[in-house]
């Protein structure tokens, strides 16, 4: 059996998963890769920190030079996260013709170009399956299995924390703050949950997926972003009445060469496969012009699922004949140039919830304003009196397809009406047609 040495940068959650899998599934990995994989070194910041896993202390080092200068180490597994020094270490490793596996979504989404080009230049493999949707092989799916397709659309539930919160709100009737608290207690949400609940995490992932699916460079700021903090239980209740559920979707659509990229809470039909993705599970639905609808579903986070993606990336390097110099990896994000639409240009249906004066003629005033802005209403629901104030009622509007710009103008105009106290929420709807 041939042997190969690898090094881990980082031994947090994902690093621990990688270590555990390399040990418990040693035989599988050997048979499938043709190599016995030895972890020769693990870079950590603090050697004395407890790791929740038994690792021989001799493997741990705080000095990257121990790794970069060891010519026997052929593959670097970067699971430390963050921008620096992860970026610097990977560049240095590629200079030494070491192959790279990384799980670093933030770095890929913001500085992926440099890394792809460096790998191409040095003829080393650069794999990053674990950077999006944990154990779900969506990167490989796009890069290897959709090569015969023009991708038309992609919809993803790529953040487990927010999906857990929305599931709890829908099924257990929790409000946002209680659901968040529960997610934190369960370990699904960080102490500072901003990156998840404000949609930044999904934004990174959509940038990565889109750049691969469309073979083009996507910048983070090309992706419009809204989080789920504005979702109230009452919105979820109304969604149910329309046979919809609310999910934080990452969406990209190719409209004749112009891409619209957006992350926001979205009302989707309750019988759609994405609607049935619960708890912390992730899923990505891709529509290709040949394959039609294709969905990948699984665990988007966690030590072992993410570790599974990392280790499969290692196996894929071993199989691609590591002994050949200059493996000729393909840079996959520079095949096409695409224009990016502004969010105001998108077409969508919308749900709007308003608090208005409870007097005759209000519905008519609202309908007129909405109509004047070229928004056509599909349904209007007026429920009983608000508890807080006897003179106020809630009205829910659902529109037909319209430009987002029209909705924004309508909202501006609605605020000028005396009868409109507040536009509590507006949520985009998607029916996947």
Q: Which stretch binds a copy of itself (CB under 8 A): 21-29, 45-53, 78-86, 199-207?
A: 21-29
How many alpha carbons fall within 13 Å on the CB side of residue 186? 17
Per CB under 8 A, 186 contacts a copy of itself: no
CA dihedral (224, 287, 351, 367) in degrees, to 10, reads 100
What residues between 189 and 218 interact with a copy of itself by CB under 8 A? 215
Closest CA to 299 of 314, 278, 285: 278
Comparing CB distances to a copy of itself, the nearer of 183 and 277 is: 277
Choose, by CB under 8 A, the member of 1, 57, 191, 290 that binds a copy of itself.
Answer: 290
* Pair of tokens at residue 330: 């393909």
Interaction with a copy of itself in 213-272: which residues (CB under 8 A)?
Answer: 215, 271
Q: Which is nearer to a copy of itself, 296 or 350 (CB)?
A: 296
Nearer to a copy of itself, 160 or 227 (CB): 160
Q: How far apart are CA 423 and CA 420, in angstroms?
A: 8
Interface with a copy of itself, residue 146, by CB under 8 A: yes
Helix H or strand E segment including 239: helix 233-241
Rounded to a whole number of angstroms, the minimum distance from the CB of residue 339 to a copy of itself is 17
Piece of 65-73, 258-266, 305-313, 382-390 that binds a copy of itself (CB under 8 A): 305-313
Please give the annotated binding residues, written as ranges.
105, 190
Binding residue ranges for NADPH: 105
337 scored as a contact of a copy of itself (CB under 8 A)? no
Ordered alpha helix ranges (H), 63-199: 65-68, 86-95, 105-122, 138-140, 160-172, 176-185, 194-197
- The position carrying tokens 């539930």 is 157
Q: Does 291 bind a copy of itself (CB under 8 A)?
A: yes
- Among 112, 141, 156, 160, which residue interacts with a copy of itself (rule: CB under 8 A)? 141
Report the DSSP beta bridge partners of residue 340: 259
Interacting residues with a copy of itself between 390 and 429 (CB under 8 A): none
Stretch that binds a copy of itself, among 131-139, 344-352, 414-422, 425-433 (CB under 8 A): 131-139
- Integer Cα distance of 81 and 73 in angstroms: 20
Q: Which is nearer to a copy of itself, 199 or 300 (CB)?
A: 300
* 205 is annotated as an active-site residue: yes
Shortest gap between Cβ of 286 and a copy of itself (angstroms)? 9
Report CA torsion sign: 28, 29, 32, 36.
Answer: negative
- Answer for which of 121, 150, 383, 422 binds a copy of itself (CB under 8 A) is 150
Does 166 engage in binding with a copy of itself (CB under 8 A)?
A: no
- From the list 98, 205, 247, 287, the catalytic residue is 205
Alpha helices in 264-335 (DSSP H): 303-319
- Given its phi and psi angles, is residue 44 left (phi above 0), alpha (psi -120 to 50 degrees) or beta? beta
Q: Which is nearer to a copy of itself, 187 or 371 (CB)?
A: 187
Long-range contact list for 375-379, CB < 8 A, 24+ apart? 375/350, 375/399, 375/400, 375/402, 375/406, 375/407, 375/410, 376/400, 376/402, 378/349, 379/242
* Candidate list 48, 65, 321, 326; residue touching a copy of itself; CB under 8 A: 321
Please identify, among the stretches 136-144, 181-189, 241-249, 381-389, the one whose residues bind a copy of itself according to the rule CB under 8 A.
136-144
Instruction: Reduce the DSSP state of residue 260 to 3 states and report it.
Output: strand
355 φψ region: left (φ > 0), alpha (ψ -120 to 50), beta (else): beta
**Least gap, CB of 248 to a copy of itself (angstroms):** 19
Please tell me whether residue 61 binds a copy of itself under the rule CB under 8 A.
Answer: no
Phi, psi of 118 (to 5 degrees): -65, -45
Sign of the C-alpha dihedral, residues 12, 15, 17, 20? negative
Decide if 8 contacts 25 (C-beta within 8 A).
no
* Residue 372: CB minimum distance to a copy of itself, A: 41
| DSSP assignments along 384-429, one per residue | EE-SS-TTEEEEEEEE-SEEHHHHHHHHHHHHTSTTEEEEEEEEEE
Nearest distance from C-beta of residue 290 to a copy of itself, angstroms: 4
> Which among 201-209, 261-269, 295-303, 406-414 is the span making contact with a copy of itself, rule CB under 8 A?
295-303
Q: Which residues sit at the interface with a copy of itself, rule CB under 8 A?
A: 17, 21, 24-25, 28-29, 31-34, 129, 135-137, 140-141, 144-150, 215, 271, 273, 276-277, 281, 288-299, 302, 304-305, 307-312, 314-316, 319, 321, 328, 330, 332, 335-336
Q: Which amino acids are annotated catalytic?
A: 205
């Amino acid at each position: 059996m041939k042997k190969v040495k690898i090094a881990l940068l980082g031994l947090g959650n994902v690093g621990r998963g990688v270590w555990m899998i390399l040990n418990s599934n040693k035989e599988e990995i050997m048979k499938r890769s043709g190599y016995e994989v030895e972890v020769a070194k693990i870079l950590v910041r603090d050697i004395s920190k407890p790791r929740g896993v038994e690792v021989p202390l001799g493997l741990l080092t705080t000095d990257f030079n121990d790794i970069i200068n060891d010519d026997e180490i052929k593959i670097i597994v970067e699971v430390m996260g963050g921008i620096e020094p992860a970026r610097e270490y990977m560049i240095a490793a590629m200079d030494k013709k070491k192959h790279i596996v990384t799980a670093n979504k933030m770095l890929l989404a913001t500085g992926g170009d440099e890394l792809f080009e460096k790998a191409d230049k040095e003829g080393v493999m650069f794999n990053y399956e674990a950077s999006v949707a944990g154990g779900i092989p969506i990167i490989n799916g796009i890069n290897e299995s959709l090569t015969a397709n023009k991708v038309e659309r992609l919809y993803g539930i790529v953040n487990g924390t927010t999906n857990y919160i929305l599931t709890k709100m829908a099924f257990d009737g929790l409000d946002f703050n209680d659901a968040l608290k529960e997610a934190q207690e369960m370990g699904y949400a960080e102490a500072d949950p901003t990156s998840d609940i404000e949609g930044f995490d999904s934004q990174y992932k959509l940038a990565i997926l889109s750049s691969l699916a469309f073979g083009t460079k996507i910048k983070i700021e090309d992706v419009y972003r809204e989080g789920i903090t504005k979702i109230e239980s009452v919105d979820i209740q109304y969604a149910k009445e329309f046979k919809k559920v609310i999910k934080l979707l990452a969406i990209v659509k190719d409209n004749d060469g112009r891409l619209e990229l957006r992350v926001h809470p979205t009302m989707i039909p309750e019988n759609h496969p994405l609607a049935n993705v619960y708890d912390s599970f992730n899923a990505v639905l891709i529509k290709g012009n040949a394959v039609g609808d294709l969905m990948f579903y699984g665990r988007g986070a966690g030590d072992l699922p993410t570790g599974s993606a990392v280790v499969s990336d290692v196996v894929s390097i071993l199989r691609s004949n590591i002994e050949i110099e200059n493996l000729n990896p393909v840079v996959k994000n520079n095949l096409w140039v695409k224009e990016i639409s502004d969010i105001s240009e998108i077409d969508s249906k919308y749900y709007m919830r308003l608090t208005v004066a409870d007097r005759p003629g209000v519905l008519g005033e609202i309908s007129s304003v909405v109509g004047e802005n070229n928004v056509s209403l599909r349904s209007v629901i007026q429920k009983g009196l608000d508890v807080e104030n006897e003179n106020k009622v809630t009205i829910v509007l659902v529109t037909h397809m319209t430009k987002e710009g029209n909705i924004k103008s309508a909202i501006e105009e609605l605020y000028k009406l005396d009868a409109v106290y507040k536009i509590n929420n507006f949520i985009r709807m998607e029916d996947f047609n």
